[in-house]
Amino acid sequence: MAAAPRTLSGAEVRARCAQGACLVRCRRRLYDLSAFVRLHPGGEQLLRRRAGTDVSAALDGPPHRHSANARRWLEQYYVGELEPADEQVAAPAGHRARGQPAAAPAWVFPRARDLVDWRKPLLWQVGHLGEKYDEWVHQPVDRPIRLFHSDFVEALSKTAWYVVFLVWTPVVLYLSWVSYTALAQGNTRLFSSFTTEYSIPVHKYYFPFIFLLGMFLWSLIEYLIHRFVFHMKPPASNYYLITLHFLLHGQHHKSPFDSSRLVFPPVPAALVIGFFYGLLRILLPEMLGLSVFVGGLCGYVIYDMMHYYLHYGSPRKGTYLYGLKAYHVKHHFEHQKAGFGISTRFWDYPFRTLIPEETFEKEE
């Protein structure tokens, strides 16, 4: 039999808020969002709404409508019930008056038994979920994920955000210098493998434009991989494709705030980066291909840093990054089949995968 929920008095709620906690109330149910609120696009507005002592609900009104997944997510922070005598503490308009039955809100989800054993590595479990996998993986939780039994392999699958910057930025700078100095020698020509008479010399002055072309191409590759590889729906009967999907991206959607899994670890990243470098060496003259490659590599570093910031940063309201963070949160919690752009929404327009503007309600 489940234990009775803890009851908190209005005085205790006010005291915890005065100490910096962020408690949110919906009817009598109390949720402690202290550890999460600053990660949410509307977190700062929620703190202002609370104003130190306010414990009113923020789910049924501004700053925006919440999805079913967001409300499931909230249940992880449930801490107890407000005492009936204190129900009018900062009660929002429209909530029940004192003395009415203390009915739970309609969106409260029961705490069902999870489909996996979180005490064990998940990678070898998810393939057995079959037809339940797609729904399960798109119901996010706030807890770290372990993938492998081996501590060494597990360590290679995780990384801190700054490692990506420290590893790849020197590579970008060095290869940029190599590309520019090689182009400055004047030996690089386009189409020289087909014709010498009409081949086009590639001057060093073209390097910034080639570099930017590489960044632009990376943004397209980022979109295509995110949409068609990371968001493929694996067949319910295929254990291995489900496992592969979870390894590539499903883990991120299941636990979107696992800070050690928000950027691509350098070891597996090096394999993918090496593949694209080899492809460009085949398609383009050596130094031209290297110039495109280094621009794309720079785009990748910016993408990974941007992705981490969209999860853990607190951009100022009204800025481009604030809107992009809200856009990405919508992708995680409500529109998993749209909003595939991370560092930019650009490719969502021509591919018609833009998250509808009407889902972003105006603040009052």
On whether the CB atoms of residues 218 and 299 are closer than 8 A, the answer is: yes
- H or E stretch at 190: strand 189-190
SS3 assignment, position 78: strand
- Inter-residue long-range contacts of 16-21, CB under 8 Å, 24+ positions, other chains counted: 17/50, 17/52, 17/53, 17/54, 17/55, 18/52, 18/53
| 245 among annotated binding-site residues | no
| 95 among annotated binding-site residues | no
| 328 among annotated binding-site residues | yes
Closest by Cα among 169, 137, 187, 194 to 294: 169
Closest by Cα among 270, 261, 310 to 161: 261
Would you tell me the crossing angle of helices 161-184 and 207-225 to the nearest 10 degrees? Answer: 140
Closest by Cα among 253, 202, 249, 207 to 229: 249
What Cα–Cα distance (Å) separates residue 216 from each residue in 271, 291, 294, 303, 347? 21, 13, 12, 12, 11
| 203 among annotated binding-site residues | no
| 335 among annotated binding-site residues | no
| 149 among annotated binding-site residues | no
226, amino acid identity: H
Alpha carbon 333 to its chain centroid, in Å, reads 10
Residue numbering of the annotated binding site: 40, 66, 226, 231, 249, 252-253, 307, 311, 328, 331-332
Residue numbering of the annotated binding site for Zn(2+): 226, 231, 249, 252-253, 307, 311, 328, 331-332
Residue numbering of the annotated binding site for heme: 40, 66
